[in-house]
């Protein structure tokens, strides 16, 4: 079956091919290739995983199990604002689960999903090394410490403000 790619998709395929070529033949290249590919595409769609498997001569189910195993890899497109809630022991004990529940309710999505408008993704993170400041929540590069469910509304307002500022710039 032949696959017809649109212009943008063709560019994505070209970029992925370039990444694979840079690592082809080098031992231990799977993780860096997946990493670079995710950097360029924002996630790891099935077609890219298949292509990587084919070119690196690895079974595609093996590639997919690596992608599923490591939480830094995602098979779904992420939102413009990726909200990560730390569920390491210290943050969990201090109530990160309640924050997750509040975010799920406010955003109408489950952990691992992205809102339909592509604005938010919600994910759970492992310990970020700031346990004393927990519960810790990240929004892209920004870090919110000592979070509480009551502060979720302000954090979402912050994101709206951030988006308005970036639209205005």
Which residues within the stretch 16-75 sit at the binding site for ligand FES (CB under 6 A)?
Answer: none
CB of 124 to ligand FES, least distance (A): 11
Cβ proximity to ligand FES, 15 vs 133, nearer residue: 133
Task: Return d(Cα 127, Cα 162) in angstroms, integer.
Answer: 26
Q: 106-145 b/e with 16+ CB inside 10 Å = b?
A: ebebeeebbeeeeebbbbbbeebebbebbbbbbbeeeebe
Cβ proximity to ligand FES, 41 vs 111, nearer residue: 111
Q: Which stretch binds ligand FES (CB under 6 A): 30-38, 64-72, 125-133, 155-163?
A: 125-133
**Residue 63 burial class via C-beta count within 10 angstroms: exposed 0-12, middle 13-18, buried 19 and up:** buried
Task: Say whether residue 88 binds ligand FES (CB under 6 A).
Answer: yes
Task: Say whether residue 91 binds ligand FES (CB under 6 A).
Answer: yes
Selected from 41, 66, 82, 128, the binder of ligand FES by CB under 6 A is 128
Phi, psi of 27, deg, nearest 5: -70, 150
Given the rule CB under 6 A, which residues bind ligand FES?
86, 88-91, 127-131, 134, 136
């Amino acid at each position: 079956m032949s696959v017809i790619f649109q212009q943008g998709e063709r560019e994505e395929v070209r970029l992925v091919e370039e990444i694979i070529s840079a690592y082809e033949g080098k031992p231990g290249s799977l993780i860096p290739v997946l990493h670079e590919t995710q950097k360029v595409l924002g996630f790891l769609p099935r077609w890219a995983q298949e292509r990587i498997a084919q070119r690196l001569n690895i079974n595609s189910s093996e590639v997919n199990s690596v992608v599923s195993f490591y939480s830094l890899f995602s098979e779904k497109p992420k939102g413009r604002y990726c909200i990560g809630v730390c569920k390491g022991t210290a943050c969990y004990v201090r109530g990160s689960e309640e924050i997750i529940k509040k975010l799920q309710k406010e955003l109408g999505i489950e952990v691992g999903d992205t809102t339909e408008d592509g604005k938010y993704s919600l994910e759970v993170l492992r310990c970020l090394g700031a346990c004393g400041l927990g519960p810790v929540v990240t929004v892209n590069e920004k870090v919110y410490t000592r979070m509480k469910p009551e502060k979720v509304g302000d954090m979402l307002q912050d994101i709206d403000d951030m988006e308005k500022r970036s639209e205005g710039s």
